Every structure is written in structure tokens, then in C-alpha cells.
């Protein structure tokens, strides 16, 4: 996920092949974004909580709201010069509201007892705080995650590292031994504010992380 903490996201999840369709968010539906909060314009992805922001070099709206590299949440180039998109999510808010998660249906169900590998690249937006707890949550049905006072406080993959770098993309790697035939994956912070480590990195930045 830059996602606030917006952070900016791009990732891979695989056993032998990548099970995440459109992992770079570059395949679009219905044209380019012309404002923030338009995840529905990137193919296969959907919000599981809140309103994920979708940024693309083909942005066609006013100002630079969802443009790349300059946008509403700071300045961040794509991972590679030939890439053209990323997403941004909110991972912390002081009052346990408005955190954002996004999800997708995997190209194949997980096999119980099989180890899967997960990698994600994130960069901190121009926000007040940086946080930990970025992770993944699997489900057998289309997920709906509440972040209004009662997040699940659980994820199948969780990273404890607090990401503070606003210039570079940070790569995180994990693995997961499947305990069910999950069909969906959601990405974000699934823990409430009291269980999330925060570090103030910019006193003048956008509230949240």
C-alpha cells in the first residue's frame, strides 16, 4: 500500500505460481481513475473495509489527487519505471475508525497443508504516523472486515516491522501453512489502535497512518 499511514502497495502470493491476479493493479476496468477512492477501476480488486485509493499514471482527473508520482498523499514513484499503478490504504486512525483493507479472489483455492509464500512492497505516505501490523487475512467467502470499533484482531500473516521510509519501497516476505481451502485474501491492518504500534514521523503530516 502511499497508504496513511497511508501506505502504497504491490504484492505477490504464491506456492509455485502467483495466485493473485493483477498484483500490480495495472489492469483497469472502465478507464483510468479521475479521483481518489476508485479501487473499482482496477480489475478483480474490491474493498473489504473503507475506501482504498487507486493511483495510476494515466490519472485523468483534476489536480493530482490520484496521480503518480505526485498525489494527495505525497510523492512516490512506482516500483519500476515501466510500472504504472499502486494502491493506498489507511492502516491507523486514533479512534479505531476508517482503517482500510482491500481484497481479491485467488486464482485457485489454497490446499490444506501446503506452504504458501507472500511478499508485499510498501511505502509510507506523507502522513503523521507510521505503524506495524500490515498483513493478510484469508477467507473462504467474500470477506467483509469491520474496522469500526471491532476489527478481528487477527491475521494469518502479520509483519511487526514499523515502516517509516517514504522514499523507497520496502519489501516484506512471509509464509503461511494453509489450514483450510481459502479462496480470498485481504490486505491491511486487522488490529485495533490499542494493539498497533505507532511512531510519529511527521508532525505536520496527514492525521493517521
The confidence score (pLDDT) of residue 123 equals 92
Bigger pLDDT: 203 or 195? Answer: 195
Determine the 3-state secondary structure of 41 from DSSP.
Answer: helix
How much of the chain, in percent, has pLDDT values that exceed 90?
66
The confidence score (pLDDT) of residue 5 equals 42
pTM of the model: 0.90
At residue 43 the predicted structure's pLDDT band, cuts being 50, 70 and 90, is very high
**Domains of the chain, residue spans:** 7-200
At residue 94 the predicted structure's pLDDT band, cuts being 50, 70 and 90, is confident
Residues 6 or more apart from 47 whose CB is under 8 A from it? 39, 100, 101, 102, 103
Q: Enter the CATH code of domain 7-200.
A: 2.60.120
pLDDT (tens digit per residue) in 104-123 = 999 999 999 999 999 999 99
The answer, yes or no, to whether residue 150 has pLDDT greater than 90, is no
Residue 43 in contact with residue 27, Cβ under 8 Å?
yes
Q: What's the rounded mean pLDDT across residues 28-42?
A: 94
Strand residue runs (E) in the chain: 7-14, 46-49, 53-56, 70-71, 74-75, 85-89, 101-105, 115-124, 129-131, 134-139, 157-159, 170-177, 184-189, 198-200
d(CA 170, CA 168): 6
pLDDT (tens digit per residue) in 153-192 = 999 999 999 999 999 999 999 999 999 999 999 999 999 8
Amino acid at each position: 500500500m502511499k497508504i496513511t499511514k497511508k501506505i502504497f502497495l504491490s504484492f505477490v502470493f504464491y506456492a509455485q505460481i502467483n495466485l493473485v491476479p493483477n498484483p500490480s493493479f495495472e489492469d483497469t476496468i472502465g478507464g483510468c481513475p479521475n479521483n481518489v477512492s476508485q479501487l473499482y477501476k482496477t480489475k478483480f480488486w474490491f474493498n473489504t473495509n473503507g475506501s482504498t485509493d487507486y493511483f495510476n499514471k494515466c490519472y485523468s482527473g483534476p489536480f493530482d489527487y490520484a496521480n503518480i508520482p505526485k498525489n494527495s498523499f505525497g510523492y512516490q514513484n512506482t516500483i519500476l519505471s515501466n510500472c504504472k499503478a499502486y494502491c493506498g490504504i489507511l492502516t491507523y486512525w486514533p479512534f479505531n475508525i476508517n482503517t482500510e483493507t482491500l481484497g481479491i479472489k485467488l486464482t485457485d483455492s489454497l490446499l490444506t497443508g501446503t506452504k504458501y509464500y507472500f511478499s508485499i512492497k510498501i511505502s509510507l505516505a506523507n502522513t503523521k504516523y507510521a505503524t506495524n501490523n500490515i498483513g493478510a487475512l484469508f477467507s473462504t467467502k467474500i470477506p467483509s472486515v469491520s474496522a469500526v470499533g471491532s476489527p478481528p484482531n487477527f491475521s494469518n500473516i502479520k509483519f511487526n516491522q514499523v515502516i517509516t521510509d517514504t522514499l523507497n519501497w520496502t519489501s516484506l516476505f512471509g509464509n503461511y501453512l494453509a489450514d483450510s481451502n481459502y479462496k480470498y485474501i485481504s490486505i491491511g491492518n486487522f488490529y485495533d489502535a490499542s494493539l498497533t504500534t505507532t511512531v510519529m514521523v511527521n508532525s505536520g503530516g496527514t492525521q493517521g497512518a
